[in-house]
Each structure stands twice: as C-alpha cells, then as structure tokens.
Structure 1
Amino acid sequence: MKKEDTNITDHLTRLEQNRDLNLGEEAGTARTHNSLAYVKYLLGSYEEALANLKKSEELTKDCYGDNCDERLIVTYGNFAWLHFHMKQYAECKRYLDKLKEIKEKKTPVSTSVLYPHVVGEMAWALFKFTRKYYGRAKECFRKVLELEPEEGEWNAGYAIVLHRTESNCSKIAIQQLRRAIQTNPDNDELKLLLALRLARLKMFDEAKDLVESALEMSPNNPHVIRYVGKYLRNYGSVDWSISLLKRALDVAPDSAFIHHQLALCYKQKKEQLKDKFESQRFRHLSISHFEKAVTLDSGFIVAMAQLAALYSEDGQIGRADEVFQTALSTAKDKTSIQALYLYFGKFQQYSKCWPLAVRYYKDCLKMGPDTKDGKKSGENLRKIASKRLSKNRYDTRALGILEFIEQVTGWNQSTTEDCEHVLESTCNEKQ
C-alpha cells in the first residue's frame, strides 16, 4: 500500500478513533492495531509500530486462545518486516521461524496452500486504507469467501465494500447485506446499511424494523447512532436525527462522519424554513459542522464540496472557490471527483457563471450517466437548456446541450418537437 495514495494523517486519525471506540470487538481492534503499526512504520515511528503489533498479538490470543495460530500469520509477518527494517535481524528470524512452525503444523507436506486469513486480512487492510483500493479489496473478499463461505468477518467486509461501491438499487449489495446479517446477527451496523438501501427502494416496513432493532440493541454505539441519524434525516424526523447525532457526538466528539451528518441535518432544516433569520441561523450551524468534518478529515471530499456550496450561498464566494480548488487537487477516486464536478457546477450556476456550470455538469455526466450525481447533472443541464429555450427556441447553445445529453445518455431531446416538450415541462414546473 502506497503512502501517496491516501492522506496518511487523516488515515491515522480514523484508525485511532476506531481503536478508542473499542466496543468489545477484540478481533476488529486487533486488526486496527495491525493497521496502526503499518501507518506508524510509514511515518518512521518504529517503536510505536512495534507496540501496536504487540497489542494486536495480545488481543488475538485473548480472543481466540489456543486456536489463534492462523490468525497470527499476518501479525507475525508484520513483526518480521518491522524488525528487518529496524536491522534487528535475530528478532526478524525469530518471527520467520514462528511462521515456519505454523506452516509445518498446518501443512507438513504441501507448500502451496492458500491461507484464508491472510487473504481476508489483506481485504480489510486494503479497504480501510483508501477508497482507491476498494476494487482490490472487493476481489480479496470474494476470493476468501470462496474458501470460507460461512465466515462472518469476510461476509461483513464484502457486504460493506459492496455497499460503498454498488448503485443504490444493486440487488447484489442487498443480497450480500442479508447474507452478512445471517452470519453476523449481532452486527447492528449491517442492519442499518440494509435499512438505508431498502428505504431507497420504498421497502419501508422492513427498513423500519431493522432500524428499531439496531437502536434497541445498540443504543450507545456511535457507529449505529450515526446511521440511524442518517436514516431518520432521509426518511423520518430531522429533529430526532439531530438529537441522536448530538448524543453520538458526546461519545465520539472527533468523528468527521457524525459532524457531517449533523451538518446535513441543519442544512435540511434551513431548506424547510421560510423565516430568513432562522434559515440563516441553521445555515451557519451547518457550515460550522461541515468545517469541523473537513478539519478532522482533510480528505472528506464530499463534505468539502458541500461546505463550499454553502459558503457560496452565504455570499462567501472567495472562501467557496478556495475550498473547491483544494478539493479538486485532493480528490483521488472517481466517485469523489464526480461529486465535485456536480457541486462545482452548482457553485458556478449560483455565481451566474453559466458556461462553467455547463462545463462541470457535462464532466460529471460523462463520468457516470447512471449514477446519482450523473443523473442530477443531467437534470440541471436540461433545466439550463429549458431556460434558454424559453427565451429563444432556436438557441444553438441550448440545443447543443440537449444534443450532448442525448449522446451520453440516449435521452432524445434533439428535435424541435422534443425541444417543445422541454418548454412544456418547464411551464408545468412553474405552475
């Protein structure tokens, strides 16, 4: 894993938060200490890396007792790696000998056995390091499930990475989330991920049952509360969501995710209010939590884009442009870049810079016409074209926009008859 593929400081902060929010999941915490050791190695803090590996070994032995040999392969390999780089070659050999003993005990004859836990730990490490590695992580989880299809850890990991990468209506992601819950019946976070997907498909009864079950079983788990808050913001009570997220913030004050969810709640409250003073108050509350989220996680691209859009709305155009430019230079994965194009298009549209707005909406649409952000950009482009055509039905720029949409999506609006349909739709929207 390459240091330049992630913001190593932000990654360290997230790992330390996961470690500090230890909720009795010793196996997961041991994995976190392994990842922390690697980050400390990258930062040149070898002694701290060594301490994290020792803690990982200790937690693994406490969790699995005499059956921990295979689960320690990765940790012992990391010990050997670290001691080698510390030029402690005798200690390096000692851990290599431990690995040799495990191998001989497990497979005295074969030298080509694939160890499931090595593949599984590789999957988790890739998944947690950066979004850029999600594809590799997905492949590792798929491979390890072929070896151990009933293992809860691998089913959960595969479900989460599919949730992060598959479209909202993906049957594959929903099926795997159901499978993961079967093999991890006490994992309430998985229940909430499934609830969010089911709600998008209007399957509210089952989604509501999952949310109530998760909240009842894990009322103080900040990882659970944050997703309950997200669910309520989207499909229930914004005020209740704010109340729950504030409670979660008491437990995890440095969670960028929770600050982000609170910012979105206050933004939604702002949009519901007609009173100008109250609307401005909630906009400033939203801005403050977006700022906190970005401060805690400087790679939180979507939060940066949303913050910039609110700065623009608040009349802080210079700050908005500065944040957007920072986000564009920081973004590494396709999903984040596409989201930025959408928000940057909105920013330019709000600033009355229509040519740049059209340019960024087009870039967003080209990156993925079937994604949520791509579809939104397509809608915004059609509205811009409709507005121009309402003033001049032969406007060549507007017709060019519609032709571009047709080329990218197959949405046919290039004929005069279709353009008239756009005008009719626009009039209906105004009514």
Structure 2
Amino acid sequence: MSDLRCRLLQLQSRFTWDLKKDDMDLENLSTRLQAHIDLQLGQQGAVARSYSFLAYVRYLQDQPEEAVSLLNQSEEKTRECFGEESERRLIVTYGDLAWLKYHTGDYQQSQAYCQRVNDILLKYPTDSPEVLHPEVYGEKAWTFLKFSWSYYPKAVDCFRKALELQPDDSEWNAGYAIALYRTEPMFSEAPEESPGTKQLRRALEIKPDDGVLMSLLAMKLGTYNKHQEADNLVERALKIDPDNPHVTRYVGKYLRSQGDYDRSIVLLKKALRRSSQSAFIHHQLALCYIKKKIDEHKKKPFNNQTVKHWRSLCIQHLEEAVRIKASFVLAIADLALMYAEKKDFSRYSVCTHSYTEVLSFFFGTAEK
C-alpha cells in the first residue's frame, strides 16, 4: 500500500497540485463546467478538459463514482480530438484516475493507471526529469485558471513554461493571453501596451479567427483609446462567433464601457439565453441598468417611475448573480447599494453582512 501511495505522489495530477477545496466555489464551478460541456465551448480539447475539471469537483463533493465516469468521458473526448497525438494529453487524466481508484479502494486499477502513465513517460521522455511535457504544463495551467482566482499567477507561470517548449502552439498562446488578461489591471497609465495586450495580439496572429481573443483584445484596446481598432475587432468577433456566450458577454462589456448601453443589453440578453446560469452576464446586465437609471436621474425633470423600473431590473439581475455565485463580492456590494437606494434596509443589512463574510473568507484564504 505504501509503495502504491509513493507512486501516486509522483504523478502529475489534480490530486498532487495542492488544489484546496476552501479556495473554490464548488457549486458555481460545477454549474459553469456543466454549461461548458452542454454548449461545447472552447478550443479543441476544451470539452475534454471540462469533463476532467468536473470530475475533480465531483470528487470534492464526495461523488467518486460520477468522478470516474466523467474522467472516462474526458479520455474518450481527448482521443476523439487528438487521435494518435492524444497519449501525452492523457498523462494527467490517467493520474487522476489512479488517485480516484486508490480512494475508492480499487488498488489493482490504481496500479494499472500508474503503469499507463509510466508507459507514456517511457515512450515520450523529456530532456530532464524536472521538465514536464508541454501538454502537462498546459493542463496544469488551465486547471489553475479555471478553479480559483487565487491560482491565476500559477496559471501564468505554467502557460509560460508550456510556451518555452512549444512557442507557436495556438492553445498555449491563447491560454497565456487569457491568464495575463485576468491578472493585469484593466486600466494603466503606461503609454505602451501591456504584456497581456501584446500576448493577445500574438495569440491572434496564430489563431486569427478566435472571437473570444478578439473581444478580450478589444477590451484592452479601449483602455488605450484605440477605439477604431477595438470597434473593428468587436464587429469581427460577432460575425465570426455570434452564438458564443463568451464572445457576446465580453463584447457586451466592451459596449457598456463605451456608453452603448442599449446594444450591450441586447447582446447580454442574447448571451443569457444560452448561458442562463452565468453570474458574470447577470452582473453585466445589472451594470447596464445602473447606467440607464443614472442617465434618467440626470434629466431635468426625471421620471421617477423610469428610475424605479431600471433599479428593479438591476436588483433582479444582481440577486440572480449572487444566487448563482454566493462569493461574487462585486455583485454583493452593488446589490447592497441598490437596496439602500430603495430604502430596503433589512435586505441591505443582510447584504452587507454577506459582503463582510465573503471578504473575511478571501483574506483568511490569502493568509493561509
């Protein structure tokens, strides 16, 4: 038994990457991953990864049998996508299966999956034992990027290592761009474009028809007042991938930042029809309605019923955002302000209490 556990600890697996349950919002993560699977979102192989991610979530939720089933589906999807090139992409999947079989007491199968990993590593050796395969760095990076904002710096580092080995790979370039986008401040006074902006350009050179990358780059360019280029990217993204809720939500966010609230609302509503359990989209819609409310309030005279209408819609979407993602601190803060405006002080009190609890959790996690 101790020999098996020693073998397991040597594996590259979500079970050995120091992923902490307390760092994750498991319910929200589960909802988002299931949506990715249902909508078949992402680049080649992304659905297979979503099955693997969801498997680990199910393990953390004490559902090991479903976790094994999801990993088997991940293996099947990986083979469908990559065919003969799939073996290195299964190193982590087999590592996860080895751990799951160990935790369920099936030590023979656990040994078998350890051996599968070993066979792949012997077949495809790296330059040194300390260097992982780029596919493993990539899998590790996507895991960190998906599971918690607190792991984003680790995702950046892993994507960078994958690119050192495969500098022209479209997947690692896209992932690196997204990771940098999420870790950089949105606004910068520096005259030069940020590393994240430059990496988005690099990723689009390799994969010029990626609507998600276009919409993210548009967001960045808007902060540099490069509005013409940003507008062109937005229109191209909507033309290339009009039904992808990730595209429409980021384009909607861009349009809101440019003051085009009505068009933003139309696009965000469209995205919500395909991704109804997206706290991000509900929050973006609420922010649009806040702007509509403020604009009405500025009128002399303003229509009080119209103000109440926009506030009501805003509260509706903020409540949905918080219901879907209980740790959504920005949405909680915005909702508290709306309750205060409405003079609904009992709900305001509940909201501010939740806000304090979430912040305490985040800072407590950071201190660990």
- Specify if TM > 0.5: yes
CA apart distance, 1:236: 4.5
Task: Confirm or deny that 1:308 pairs with 2:336.
Answer: yes
From 92, 96, 99, the equivalent of 2:117 is 99
Q: 1:209 — aligned with what?
A: 232
From 277, 280, 287, the equivalent of 2:305 is 277
Q: Deviations over 1:280-303 (max 9, x none)?
A: 110111010010111011111111
Q: Secondary structure at the match of 1:78?
A: helix
CA apart distance, 1:305: 0.8
Equivalent residues of 1:131, 1:333 under 8 A apart: no
Q: 2:325 — aligned with what?
A: 297
Task: Confirm or deny that 1:225 pairs with 2:248.
Answer: yes
After superposition, residues 16-415 of structure 1 pair within 5 angstroms as 16-23=34-41, 25-107=43-125, 111-167=129-185, 168-169=187-188, 171-273=194-296, 274-331=302-359, 332-333=361-362
Equivalent residues of 2:134, 2:162 under 8 A apart: yes
Q: Flag structure 2 segments of 5+ consecutive residues without an equivalent.
A: 1-18, 297-301
- Structure number with greater Rg is 1
Q: TM-score, normalised by structure 2?
A: 0.87
Equivalent residues of 1:196, 1:231 under 8 A apart: yes
CA apart distance, 1:251: 1.4
CA apart distance, 1:264: 0.9
Equivalent residues of 2:31, 2:277 under 8 A apart: no
- Check 1:7–1:113 CA distance in 2 against 1; reply closer, same or farther (3 A cut): closer
Query: C-alpha distance in 2, partners of 1:299/1:184?
Result: 34
User: How high is the sequence identity, in percent, across the aligned residues?
Assistant: 44
CA RMSD of aligned residues (A): 1.8
Query: C-alpha distance in 1, partners of 2:254/2:195?
Result: 21
CA apart distance, 1:221: 1.2
Q: Deviations over 1:110-156 (max 9, x none)?
A: 65542111111111111111111112222212222212211121111
Which moves more between the two structures, 178-187 or 111-120? 111-120
CA apart distance, 1:107: 2.4
Q: 1:356 — aligned with what?
A: none
CA apart distance, 1:199: 0.9
CA apart distance, 1:80: 0.6
Looking at both structures, which has the greater relative contact order when contacts are Cα pairs under 8 Å and sequence separation is at least 6?
A: 2
Equivalent residues of 1:34, 1:75 under 8 A apart: yes
Q: Deviations over 1:187-242 (max 9, x none)?
A: 21111111011111110010001000000111111111111111111214211111
- Check 1:186–1:203 CA distance in 2 against 1; reply closer, same or farther (3 A cut): same
Task: Confirm or deny that 1:8 pairs with 2:8.
Answer: no
Query: C-alpha distance in 2, partners of 1:327/1:154?
Result: 36
| Counterpart AA for 2:280 | F
